[in-house]
Amino acid sequence: MAYKYYKDNRAYIEALKKTGDLVVVNDEVDWDLEMGAIVRRMCERKSPAAHFKKIKDYPDFEALGAPMATHRRLAIAFGLDPATPIPQISAEYLKRTTGSPVKPKIIDRKDAPCKEIVWSGEDANLFNLPAPMVHDGDGGRYICTWHFVVAKDYDTDFVNWGMYRQMAFDEKTMVGPVLAFSDMGKMFYNKYVPRNLPMPFATVISPDPLSAIASSAPSPLPEAEFTGMLMGEPVEVVKCETCDLYVPAHAEIIIEGVVLPNVMIDESPFGEYTGYRTSPREKRTVYRVKAITMRKKSILAVSNMGVPTDEGQLLRSFSLGLEMERMLKDQGIPVTGVYMLPESTHHLVVVGVKPIYANIATQIGQLVFGSKLGPWFHLVVVVDDTTDIYNKDEIIHALSTKCNPATGIRITEHGVGTPLNPFVSPEQRKYGAAPKVIFDCTFPLNWPASELPVKVAFNSVYPKEIQEKVLSKWNQYGFKD
């Protein structure tokens, strides 16, 4: 059964407009910093998304700024009411992605909007696309900030979709970081590079919202099939012009080509999701462009990373937390929920658990740090089931009152990190090394029940009938909320 979803960004834009989650900008905006500055301010103020109708020098293009930087927009992407609380959006993600993967459906190129315009040869020029200069100080124009790269494993049928940023280096060349532990990194560095073989790729810019969520989620499944699960029906794909990869047919722009083995060129600096500029100009992975296809009047999506809250922080926190919950439950750990705070730039995760045996917090920390998800965060706060993991006041209260500074903080010095961590030394950053820490906010199990501090809260120290009476008469007393 198909769920409610939007097949392309145009339908999503209409939905955002209806709920007041989109501003249409009719004034011309400059791709050189002005558009980036608007989107940055929007993220910091949690403003609605923006549909830019006129871009300087590029009359045939429009842009969508900050496509999914709020939980309201995330809820809309799932076809839910924009006011849906985070735990319910999470439940929807977990419901849709439990069960069998849904293979994509191949459609004819004449039915594929992303083939309305085809540029090949000299025409396939990256600077004919309205790539924004996102931040002052960036190393170049970033054409791909809300997109994914499609690539196929060398000796299996596994096809990966992953969101890895790309900068326009010259008319025919893009460059970007492909981290060694990412799925594409493993395929490229382990299989194509040793054989000195170029790896075909297709970059899908401005995909439909659910494909975007799937491509940035750390799921072990092929993301096309994961997208089908989120949609409740197959995602429609079409064959590329220059290789046998398939791309979502309703996306706005597709860039095709090959990733070159054993060549690296300069990329960065770039304003990062951590809220800092941490990656210096360095040699990174090279994408050589062969063809560009697109919809008429195509709408480039632009995400602007920086201090919270941008898409990277919001979406990665969402899916990292939920994939962690799934993994811990699969291991039989009695977790009551997992919430990664977007404001932490997906560095801090709160895990709720029924502490039924000793050192369960250590076990949780070791499992999540040791998993594929581990490099992206370094703070794990484990609370018991009396703490609401979505309530920041309760998290701070638990951390400040239950975590013993001498025995409840467990540090691992040599963890796997990313080159973007602001808090580690430049050398550790270079090698992607980072320390990790677990905060155990559960009371030790060997304390006698009579000695356990009793939490003094409305829902813990009053009889049920008093609570119910007070709740039912709350507005009558004169309170609004």
Residues of this chain that interact with ligand FMN (CB under 6 A) are: 160, 162-165, 176-177, 179, 182-184, 216-218, 303, 311-312, 315-316
Min dist CB 479 to ligand FMN, Å, is 40
Beta bridge partners of 110: none
- Backbone phi and psi for residue 169, each to the nearest 5 degrees, phi listed first: -90, -50
Cβ proximity of 34 and 22 under 8 Å: no
Instruction: Indicate the residue among 160 and 293 with the shorter CB distance to ligand FMN.
Output: 160
Instruction: Indicate the residue among 346 and 402 with the shorter CB distance to ligand FMN.
Output: 346
Min dist CB 177 to ligand FMN, Å, is 5
Instruction: Indicate the residue among 209 and 408 with the shorter CB distance to ligand FMN.
Output: 209
> Which residue stretches of 285-432 are H helix?
311-330, 360-369, 392-402, 426-430
- Report in angstroms the alpha-carbon separations of 148 from 28, 115, 206: 27, 18, 9
Min dist CB 305 to ligand FMN, Å, is 7
Q: Are strands 409-416 and 433-441 parallel, antiparallel or unpaired?
A: antiparallel
- Could you identify the residue written with the tokens 């809220």? 275
Instruction: Indicate the residue among 77 and 315 with the shorter CB distance to ligand FMN.
Output: 315
Min dist CB 448 to ligand FMN, Å, is 46
Instruction: Give the burial class of 195: count Cβ atoms within 10 A of its Cβ; 0-12 exposed, 13-18 middle, 19 or more buried.
Output: exposed
Cβ proximity of 399 and 349 under 8 Å: no
Q: Which of 272, 257, 298 is nearest to 131 (CA)?
A: 298
Min dist CB 361 to ligand FMN, Å, is 26
Instruction: Indicate the residue among 257 and 432 with the shorter CB distance to ligand FMN.
Output: 432
Give the amino acid at 230.
L
Q: Are strands 105-106 and 159-162 parallel, antiparallel or unpaired?
A: unpaired
Min dist CB 345 to ligand FMN, Å, is 12
Instruction: Give the burial class of 187: count Cβ atoms within 10 A of its Cβ; 0-12 exposed, 13-18 middle, 19 or more buried.
Output: buried
CB neighbours (10 Å) of residue 3? 16
Min dist CB 409 to ligand FMN, Å, is 28
Min dist CB 168 to ligand FMN, Å, is 14
Instruction: Indicate the residue among 90 and 182 with the shorter CB distance to ligand FMN.
Output: 182
Distance from C-alpha of 467 to C-alpha of 198, rounded to nearest angstrom: 66
Distance from C-alpha of 112 to C-alpha of 298, rounded to nearest angstrom: 14
Min dist CB 461 to ligand FMN, Å, is 43
Instruction: Indicate the residue among 179 and 224 with the shorter CB distance to ligand FMN.
Output: 179
Min dist CB 71 to ligand FMN, Å, is 15
Instruction: Indicate the residue among 163 and 438 with the shorter CB distance to ligand FMN.
Output: 163
Instruction: Indicate the residue among 47 and 279 with the shorter CB distance to ligand FMN.
Output: 279
Handedness of CA 204, 205, 206, 211 (dihedral sign): positive
Distance from C-alpha of 261 to C-alpha of 238, rounded to nearest angstrom: 26
Give the amino acid at 444.
P
Distance from C-alpha of 56 to C-alpha of 76, rounded to nearest angstrom: 30
Distance from C-alpha of 32 to C-alpha of 303, rounded to nearest angstrom: 15
Instruction: Indicate the residue among 315 and 395 with the shorter CB distance to ligand FMN.
Output: 315
Q: Are strands 299-302 and 62-65 parallel, antiparallel or unpaired?
A: parallel
